[in-house]
Structure 1
Amino acid sequence: MSVLTEEQIERFFNILNESSEIIQKAKDQSYLDSLIETLDAVQDGDGRHLGLTASDAQRVTNIYAKFNRDDYDAETLRKSIQMAILKAIRLDKIQANYQITPDTIANVIGYIVAGIFNDKKQISLLDPAMGTGNLLTAIYNQLDRSLGVKPTVSGIENDDAMFELAASSFEIQHIHAELFHEDAIQNVLAPVVDAVISDLPIGYYPIDANAKGFNTHSETGHSYVHHLLIEYSMNHVKKGGFGFFLVPSQLFQTEEAKQLLKWMQGRIYLQGLLNLPGELFENKAAQKAILILQNTGEKAKQSNPVMLGEFPSFKDQTAFKKFLTEIDDWQQRDLL
């Protein structure tokens, strides 16, 4: 990353941060809520509608005057917003489902997606659990840079605050997106796409009645939300299309996995399961992997072999690049 880009990231972060701190103090509210208001107001360049005193409204308006959208590319803006959200998570002690997918992981997923779709002039993407939209916008920007393709994107998010952050992030980056403020498990009528990309929430889905229409629902008690979302996602992928999911490394080693595997038979090809480096996680139980699924139909076929393995440390650039080359070879030789 160039020094200029780092300076721009810091510059826009400072604009977001200074405004959010003023609003937070004036309204005695969370940093997160203040950031949401800032992201909305900075685009208008006007703080008068924020419900502040005339003095504070003028202060934030003066801060917004430092922001000229034309000075920034989308990726710089995304990184600045990411920094501000990370500060909100830290300051407000926000629960785990707000955690942002690290850029190192987003970049790897984007690399795999770019390799599979490298001959496409257009790609449509969906994230059924988009959170703040960071993963979806990171991959959008990566595909724009690496393939010269501006994907058509859609996202679903049930949480109010995360949805508002995502909507503002897309808008400020000038990324047109179809966003749904809904619970995907209630079978949102989202578009059918070339690929689903998602860092799936992990755990039990609380509303059993909503899960009953899914083949992956549990026969007793609550169902795993990540199983339900995988099924939902692949139902919204075209024939021969792909799903790229961040999942627990132990996904297929639980008792509940039997129902997931049963649903996949005859419908879905398991094309890859790539464990992320163990050093990124607190313990083995928390380790995650990139799951690559493909719908049957069109020219899709079961890859032989399935791509299984574990990424070397991201710090070992030689080994890391060698592993990426192995993925490239597998895509060309066994998958596509």
Structure 2
Amino acid sequence: METIEKLFSFINENAVKIEEEKELTYLDSVLEVLNAWLDGDKIPTGKVATKEDIRKAIQLSILKGMRENAQPNHQMTPDALGLLVGYFVEQFMDNKKTEGSKISILDPAVGTGNLLLTVMNLLEDRVEGVGVEVDELLIQLAAASADLTEQPIALFRQDALQNLMINPADAIVCDLPVGYYPNDDVAKDFELKAAEGMTYAHHLFIEQSLKYSKDGGYLFFLVPENIFESEQAQGLYKYLQQTAWIQAVIQLPDSLFSNKAHAKSLFILQKKSADGKPVKEVLLAKVPSMTNKQALEMFFAKVQIWKKEQK
């Protein structure tokens, strides 16, 4: 923690100076600090930091900026959720580790890159990332974070629901943007377009992600807990029956969310393939409180038992 605190202080103190001198927002100032660090104009002193130290220090700085100037599209996936997603990516992609080639991971709503970088840091040098983000400031922060943590991520600034110039990925990770998608001209080309009114963006992101994942690829979504209770849920379920095999539905602790209405689950899919098959039993589980070490150990043991039974 001492290294993370020192890195955060370095970023924060310099960002505050830039904020005052140039009359920029705090987040824009953080970006300037990160770019100066990359260019070698101003670098932190002290012992060499790990990739995780750097990511966490940058995360703290960005969170401070988001709290000071809250915007609906400026949100970050908390570390606890990122680490859980990373754990399940490891469990489902372990067969790819033995093949020698790198695992490609796409986040179609990459934001500042925190979720993707958390997963990549866990998998270490076995992965290469791709991120898509429409917000210019967020993707610049993601680029600086990726460079400082020396992670190979290709970033594309565009609406992720339009045509993407990327290769299908081995895995998708995404904290799905929740709400209605405003561009009906784009939505009309999706199978999950609502029969009436506006379409849920999180449904369209699921369809787009399946389009850009390899056959047999795995998809790890943070979804609204009530995703199958909405008026558009029947169409989503029908579409998934045709295109994917549900692997797991993991309910997340209420304590991770400030409001029960914003609670999420981890929804894991596998894109159907000619040589694949569905799991014998879908993993249905609830993650206990993250502070209850014994209960967490039992939860992870249950996941391992389920994994062995599927083989």
TM bracket, shorter-chain basis: over 0.9
Letter in 1 for 2:258: E
> Unaligned regions of 5+ residues in structure 2, if any?
none
Q: Separation in 1 of the partners of 2:21 and 2:193?
A: 47
- Which of 4, 8, 21 is the equivalent residue of 2:3? 8
- Which of 102, 107, 114 is the equivalent residue of 1:134? 114
Contact 2:171 2:219 in 1 (8 A): yes
**Equivalences for 1:264-275 in 2 at 5 Å?**
264-275=240-251
Counterpart residue number, 1:97: 73
**Equivalences for 1:287-302 in 2 at 5 Å?**
287-302=263-278
SS at match of 2:154: strand
**Equivalences for 1:170-319 in 2 at 5 Å?**
170-319=146-295
Q: Separation in 2 of the partners of 1:288 and 1:91?
A: 25
- Give 1:210 shift: 0.7
> 1:86 aligned to 2:66?
no
Q: Separation in 1 of the partners of 2:152 and 2:259?
A: 38
- Give 1:268 shift: 0.7
SS at match of 1:294: strand
SS at match of 1:266: helix
**Residues 1:299 and 1:319: Cα distance change in structure 2 (over 3 Å):** farther
Contact 2:4 2:57 in 1 (8 A): yes
**Residues 1:33 and 1:65: Cα distance change in structure 2 (over 3 Å):** closer
Letter in 1 for 2:251: N
- Which of 117, 130, 134 is the equivalent residue of 1:154? 130
> 1:123 aligned to 2:99?
no
SS at match of 2:95: coil
The C-alpha deviation readout for 1:199-229, integer Å capped at 9, x for no partner, is 1110001001011111111122211110000
SS at match of 1:178: strand
Counterpart residue number, 2:141: 165
Counterpart residue number, 1:32: 27
Contact 2:92 2:218 in 1 (8 A): no
- 118-127 or 105-114, which deviates more: 118-127
Counterpart residue number, 1:44: 39
Q: Separation in 2 of the partners of 1:156 and 1:263?
A: 24
**Residues 1:332 and 1:164: Cα distance change in structure 2 (over 3 Å):** same
> Unaligned regions of 5+ residues in structure 1, if any?
1-5, 47-63
- Give 1:65 shift: 4.5
Letter in 1 for 2:205: L
Q: Separation in 2 of the partners of 1:65 and 1:293?
A: 42
Question: In angstroms, what is the RMSD of aligned CA positions?
Answer: 1.5
Letter in 1 for 2:306: W
- Give 1:298 shift: 4.8
Contact 1:42 1:67 in 2 (8 A): no
Q: Separation in 1 of the partners of 2:307 and 2:110?
A: 26
SS at match of 1:305: coil
**Which one has the largest radius of gyration?**
1
Counterpart residue number, 2:302: 326
**Residues 1:141 and 1:203: Cα distance change in structure 2 (over 3 Å):** same
Contact 1:294 1:300 in 2 (8 A): no
- Give 1:74 shift: 1.1
The C-alpha deviation readout for 1:39-91, integer Å capped at 9, x for no partner, is 11121132xxxxxxxxxxxxxxxxx24448x8122111101100100111122
Q: If the length of structure 2 is used for normalisation, what is the TM-score?
A: 0.94
**Residues 1:168 and 1:270: Cα distance change in structure 2 (over 3 Å):** same
Q: Separation in 2 of the partners of 1:301 and 1:279?
A: 35
Quick one: percent identity of the two aligned structures? Answer: 39
Q: How many residues align?
A: 307
Q: Separation in 1 of the partners of 2:268 and 2:175?
A: 12
Letter in 1 for 2:142: A
- Which of 66, 69, 75 is the equivalent residue of 2:52? 75
Letter in 2 for 1:29: L
Q: If the length of structure 1 is used for normalisation, what is the TM-score?
A: 0.88
SS at match of 1:245: strand
Q: Separation in 1 of the partners of 2:211 and 2:77?
A: 24
Contact 2:36 2:43 in 1 (8 A): no
The C-alpha deviation readout for 1:86-132, integer Å capped at 9, x for no partner, is 1111222x124322211111111111111112232331100000010
